[in-house]
Amino acid sequence: MCGIVGIVGREAVTPRLVDGLQRLEYRGYDSAGVATLVDGAIARRRAEGKLTNLRNVLQARPLDGITGIAHTRWATHGAPTENNAHPHATAKVAVVHNGIIENFRELREELIAGGHVMETETDSEGIAHLGTAERDRGASPQQAAARALRRLDGAFALGILFAGHDGLLIGARRGCPLVVGYGDGEMYLGSDALAIGPLSNRVCYLMEGDWVELTAEGAVIHDASDAVVHRETKLAMITGGLIEKGNYRHFMLKEIYEQPAVIGDTLGTYYNQLSRRVVLPELPFDLASVPKITIVACGTAYYAGLVAKYWFERVGRVGAEVDVASEFRYREAALPEGGLAVFVSQSGETADTLAALRYCREQGQHILSVVNVPESSIARESDVVLPTHAGPEIGVASTKAFTCQLVVLACLAIATARARGAIDAAAEAELTHALVEVPAAATEVLKHDDRIEAIAGDIAKARDVLYLGRGALYPLALEGALKLKEISYIHAEGYAAGEMKHGPIALIDPAVPVVVLAPSDRLFGKTVSNMHEVIARGGRILLVTDVEGERHAGDGAAWKLVLPDMHEFVAPVLQAIPVQLLAYHAAVSRGTDVDQPRNLAKSVTVE
Ligand code: M6R
């Protein structure tokens, strides 16, 4: 995680570096800092906490300079204090780092034994000292950087300044993304193209192991063996403007309300209005013959994959496995030659998902990704990308990206089913019609917001909350619990409803609300039986169902949320909205920082 940005400029860089950090705050907000070269000397300002604290510091003590680097941190090694904030610097070298240096302890001991004084608890500070040691031995900045890089184990994207070299900025990447931007007499460096969006849209994505010398004249790129190499430049499709909250109190609420529109936009890419069929871009493999589908993702994207497993198996009649990327990447899964591996990610930069993708490529899988950022690392390394068109998602809690992922995966499941002859034309038309109805149905579901807010006021008082669901609603129970935990800090767990009696039912008492996700699908009766087992033991139920379900659910629920009737196939998409709103209002009622909850970052670029 962490975001880095750098400029070799013609005019003052600090305000533009801070603007770049604002665009990168989704990568972490534990601390922020800037370093520039002022008359050849390294000068820096740092602050604990969100960017606004750094702005205050800079207002009190402005920072000149036309070459600089900046950093927003998600702490890995060392507490999120000002002292541990980047840039880390000696008198000779300043460094910003995204990633983890795995051999930092050995390096630290070696450097301390050599007389270097370490001021922080971080894994990153040693990089500045390694560069300094090389400079002390007479190396040029370029040589010092190249030699220091060879000493590092782990993952990094770096920006490095050298005292006395005002017009030079060195960048390097291994395992973490880094983008070079080309300007008019200026050059830029960023963790992603978004960071430098207002400055340049002509960008070059450095390749694994590359390092780059940036001067006002341009970029000289070296590969891992230090040879000068050419890398392609591209036009980035990034807008310069910052995304605004509009009249919404939080980005999360705005993004929840955007769902009818962005689901419609996403569907519009995969649904042909003339033929009334799902149409995918041409695939470099045949869906009819893939022996197995392996879905890998993290967090909310993983739950989208878990829903898709139900769809691929039931509708597509193809075996599908799903795993969290952090487990999958080390599991050495045996995969059949020619299988299809599907990676789901909003950011397209999640380190574990990217590593899992690379493993699957080595195992001869076809690589398909469902991503929201088309220029992301995962998208660029895929054989085929099925983008979601959710638009920028700013709130750390994923909402609209999730429902758009579901829509894309539903289209893929229909296309798979058709290719394999698993559904006839009538069944295909029924499923497709249900999907096309989702934007309008989502608008109807959003009309229940006031009622959800009222219920959330009660739920927010609980210390623990359980979520239950069956079939494709089981992943929604997991997602509901994750949403509540991450933004309201209430402990919550999701369970398959049928699992309750195998242990979790012992938790039931009136202080533990139980959210039961039960649309009137073919498993409704079974879910409702499980609900009554909870009621019989004094549990307080929030039943989230539909008009038909309410008629058959019986009495005893403490709260009911009755949504419009919905087709079973799309129920996971529509039931996502109340679980999102419930978490949102519970968080607001507890006064937490909804868009930037504690300890989290939007994009998880370290493993
Ligand atoms: O960018 P990705 O979709 O790959 O991110 C995966 C997870 O980090 C993400 O879904 C996370 O769990 C969210 N904060 C959940 O709301």
Answer whether residue 432 shows pLDDT above 90. yes
Assess whether 11 and 125 both reside in one domain: yes
Q: Are residues 88 and 219 in the same domain?
A: yes
CATH number at residue 33: 3.60.20.10
Please report whether residue 441 resides in a domain.
no
Residue at 346 is within a domain: yes
In a domain, 149, yes or no: yes
Give every CB contact of residue 53 below 8 A, 6+ residues apart in sequence: 32, 47
Instruction: Specify if 607 maps to a domain.
Output: no
605 domain residue, yes or no: no
Question: What token pair was written down for 99?
Answer: 């990633």
Mean pLDDT within 422-429:
96
Per-residue pLDDT tens over the stretch 548-569: 999 999 999 999 999 999 999 9
User: Which positions ≥6 away from 334 have C-beta within 8 Å?
Assistant: none
Q: Do residues 275 and 228 both lie within one domain?
A: no
> Are residues 419 and 289 part of one domain?
yes
Predicted pLDDT at 25? 86
Statement: residue 242 has pLDDT above 80? no
Query: What is the average per-residue pLDDT within 350-373?
Result: 96
Q: Does residue 360 sit in the same domain as residue 256?
A: yes
- Over pLDDT 70: what percentage of the chain? 99
Query: Could you tell me if 50 and 166 lie in one domain?
Result: yes
Percent of the chain at pLDDT above 90? Answer: 90
Query: In the numeric block, which tokens belong to residue 179?
Result: 């983008």
Residues 230 and 254 in one domain: no
pLDDT at 336: 96
What is this structure's pTM? 0.85
Please determine, for residue 240, whether its predicted confidence score (pLDDT) is greater than 80.
Answer: no
Q: Which tops the pLDDT comparison, 606 or 531?
A: 531
What are the CA-CA distances from residue 306 to residues 148, 294, 399, 406, 410 (Å)? Answer: 43, 11, 16, 10, 12
Q: How many residues in total does the chain contain?
A: 607
User: Do 454 and 543 share a structural domain?
Assistant: yes
Which structural domain range is residue 571 located in?
446-595
Residue 399 Cβ inside 6 Å of ligand 1? The answer reads: no
Contacts (Cβ under 8 Å, ≥6 apart) of 205:
177, 178, 179, 231, 234, 375, 380
Cβ-based neighbour number of residue 434 at 10 Å? 18
Cα–Cα distance for residue pair 308/295, rounded to 1 Å? 8
Instruction: Kindly tell me if the per-residue pLDDT of 476 is higher than 80.
Output: yes
For residue 40, count other CB atoms closer than 10 A to its CB.
10
| 238: pLDDT strictly greater than 80 | no
Task: Answer yes or no: are the C-beta atoms of 42 and 91 closer than 8 Å.
Answer: yes
Which residue, of 191, 207, 235, is where some domain finishes?
235
Closest CA to 168 of 66, 44, 46: 66
As a whole number, mean pLDDT of residues 146-171 equals 96
Q: What is the pLDDT of residues 501-530, one digit of tens each?
A: 999 999 999 999 999 999 999 999 999 999
Positive/negative CA dihedral, 464, 465, 470, 471: negative
In short, whether 597's Cβ falls inside 6 Å of ligand 1 is no
Please give the structure tokens belonging to residue 223.
């590969």
Residue 434 CB less than 6 A away from ligand 1: no
Q: What is the CATH number of the domain that holds 482?
A: 3.40.50.10490
Helix axis angle, 474-488 to 571-590, nearest 10°: 20
CA of 399 to the centre of ligand 1 (A): 10
Which alpha helices (DSSP H) does 120-250 contain, by range? 125-136, 141-150
What pLDDT, in 10s, does the model give residues 58-108?
999 999 999 999 999 988 888 989 999 999 999 999 999 999 899 999 999
Q: Are 71 and 122 in contact (CB under 8 A)?
A: no
Q: What phi and psi values does residue 128 have, to the nearest 5 degrees? A: -65, -40
Any ligand 1 atom below 6 A from CB of 300? yes
Question: Is 606 a member of any domain?
Answer: no
Q: What band does 245 get if pLDDT is binned at 50, 70 and 90?
A: confident
Residue nearest to atom 4 of ligand 1 (CA): 345
Atom of ligand 1 nearest to the CA of 353: 4
The closest residue, in CA terms, to atom 8 on ligand 1 is: 299
pLDDT at 241: 63
Number of structural domains, the chain? 3
Instruction: Answer yes or no: do 155 and 175 share one domain.
Output: yes
- Residue after which a domain boundary falls, among 235, 261, 281: 235
Residues 6+ apart with CB under 8 A from 171: 6, 157, 158, 159, 160, 178, 180, 189, 206, 211, 212, 214
The predicted structure's pLDDT at residue 239: 60
194 & 317 share domain: no
Handedness of CA 56, 57, 59, 60 (dihedral sign): positive
- Residue of 252, 604, 606 to test ligand 1 pocket, by largest number of atoms within 8 Å of CB: 604
Grade residue 339 by pLDDT with cuts at 50, 70 and 90.
very high
430 and 539 fall within a common domain? no
Task: Note whether residue 603 is domain-resident.
Answer: no
User: Do 214 and 329 fall within a single domain?
Assistant: no
Q: Is the pLDDT of residue 302 over 70?
A: yes
Q: Which of 369, 404, 436 is the last residue of a domain?
A: 436
Give the chain's mean pLDDT: 95
Picking from 306, 331, 337, 334, the residue whose alpha carbon sits closest to that of residue 320 is 306
